[in-house]
Amino acid sequence: MVESSWAEKKLPALLRRLLKNYKDGRGINHVEGHDLPNIETVRLCLRRLFRLVFPGFIDGHPVTNVNLPYHIGEQLAHVLTELTPEVERAFRYDCRVQNCDHCDVGARAEEAITHLLDSLPQIRDTLKQDIQAAYDGDPAAKSFDSIIVCYPCVEAITTYRLAHELYLMNVPLIPRMWSELAHSNTGIDINPGATIGPRFFIDHGTGVVIGETTVIGKGVAIYQGVTLGALAPGKGQSLRGVKRHPTIEDNVIIYAGATILGGETVIGEGAVVGGNVWLTESVPPGTKVVLPKSDLVFLHPGKIKELRKVSKGEFEPARPEPACECAAAKSKSIDCTQCKSAEK
């Protein structure tokens, strides 16, 4: 009864308010727009591309030498027929936003999909090097198979390498849709516009962010929580098209939690960036950048006493014992010189 009463009294007024809100112009509603790519079809096509890149690993589909040609042919045909209309919709959407009425969106979509499919052998060769880097860099890795099946970086990097090819063809929306699907699944955020060389390894991966204009060389390894980001993000659209993310040269290692910002920041070949380092300036090749050793405090088991490590296995009190025996001095609530009993 309550729901019925609310619907009769309030629903018409709410409907009018919402319709008025929708008329306020371009924003978060997409009315009379039939040109956005379908997210489910885009997701399915990414899955089909994974089957082409890693035959036999995806969805448990058994692949043999006998059925391999049929399996690959089927996936290629599906990607061609299913993804091409979605790319065409993306181009049409972009043309509408840009007030462009002279583009042949069908031809552009066909060219982009042809480029992507033609790139698959090269993408596979690069991913093979990425997986080799993961195997060489992680003693916990048991085999290539275990890396492909278990490591989140494989999904993130593979998605990036596929999305990057469409990004190079100026396909709107879909490259970022793919990268955000991988981001949701893995916690690794790689913008499809980044340029990343072969033998790239992300260990663990959660919280990694790689911005759109980042350039990463060959043989780079990074750990969880690393940010390769931009300075002054508050400037927003005024920085579009400007290099605002760092360049990481060949064979650099960046440890967990490091933050490297700025389009003019270059981390030289063979450099090592330690954990939790914050960098907004360039680093020469071969340099190690680490934070100063922190002054750790150790609490001795069973005693309410702070100890400071002075050498391997040796400790000393972090603060001197009070000069008197009063309870306030022992609790460190006052300085010994302030204690009346010390004055006596």
236 compared with 144, residue with greater pLDDT:
144
C-alpha to C-alpha distance for 78 and 61, rounded to whole angstroms: 16
Which pTM value belongs to this model?
0.84
Is residue 81's pLDDT more than 80? yes
Residue 23 domain-assigned (yes or no): no
Q: What is the CATH number of the domain that holds 158?
A: 1.10.3130.10
Is residue 29's pLDDT more than 60? yes
The answer to whether the beta carbons of residues 95 and 38 sit under 8 Å apart is: no
Q: Percentage of the chain with pLDDT > 70?
A: 84
Q: Predicted confidence band at 97 (pLDDT cuts at 50, 70, 90)? A: confident
Is residue 3's pLDDT more than 70? no
pLDDT at 252: 98
Q: What is the CATH number of the domain that holds 237?
A: 2.160.10.10
Residue 3 domain-assigned (yes or no): no
Residues 97 and 183 in one domain: yes
pLDDT at 320: 55
Q: DSSP labels for 43-69?
A: HHHHHHHHHHHSTTTSTT----TTTHH
- Across the chain, what does the average pLDDT equal? 88
- pLDDT, tens only, 215-252: 999 999 999 999 999 987 677 777 788 899 999 999 99
C-alpha to C-alpha distance for 248 and 289, rounded to whole angstroms: 14
Is residue 342's pLDDT more than 50? no
C-alpha to C-alpha distance for 290 and 162, rounded to whole angstroms: 35
Q: Where are the alpha helices (DSSP H) in the chain?
A: 2-9, 11-22, 39-53, 68-97, 105-118, 120-137, 144-150, 152-168, 174-186, 327-330, 340-343
Residues 219 and 339 in one domain: no
Is residue 88's pLDDT more than 70? yes
Average pLDDT of 40-66?
Answer: 93
Is residue 124's pLDDT more than 50? yes
Q: Which of 135-144, 231-240, 253-262, 327-336 bottoms out in mean pLDDT, i.e. has the lowest?
A: 327-336
Residues 40 and 188 in one domain: yes
Is residue 344's pLDDT more than 50? no
∠ CA(12), CA(14), CA(20), 5° rounding?
105
Identify the bridge partners of residue 273 per DSSP, sorted by sequence position: 254, 289
Q: Which domain holds residue 200?
A: 194-292
∠ CA(126), CA(128), CA(134), 5° rounding?
110
Residue 5 domain-assigned (yes or no): no
Count the domains in the chain: 3
180 compared with 95, residue with greater pLDDT:
180
Question: How are the residues of the chain apportioned to helix, strand and coil, as percentages rounded to the nearest 5?
Answer: 45, 15, 45
Is residue 299's pLDDT more than 60? yes
Residues 217 and 176 in one domain: no
Average pLDDT of 199-206?
Answer: 97
Q: How many residues does the chain have?
A: 344
> Of 157, 192, 227, which one is at a domain's C-terminal end?
192
Residues 284 and 307 in one domain: no
Is residue 133's pLDDT more than 60? yes
**In sequence order, which residues have a C-beta less than 8 Å from that of residue 200 and are 6 or more positions away?**
130, 133, 157, 216, 219, 220, 221
Tokens of 184: 């949701």
Place of tokens 């596929």: 162
Listed residue (296, 310, 202, 306) closest to 248, CA to CA: 202
Residues 37 and 184 in one domain: yes
Residue 323 domain-assigned (yes or no): yes
Average pLDDT of 169-186?
Answer: 98
> Of 192, 213, 235, which one is at a domain's C-terminal end?
192
C-alpha to C-alpha distance for 279 and 261, rounded to whole angstroms: 6
- β-strand pairing of 227-229 with 259-261: parallel
218 compared with 331, residue with greater pLDDT:
218
Is residue 99's pLDDT more than 80? yes
Residues 101 and 187 in one domain: yes
Q: Predicted confidence band at 336 (pLDDT cuts at 50, 70, 90)? A: low
Q: Predicted confidence band at 23 (pLDDT cuts at 50, 70, 90)? A: confident
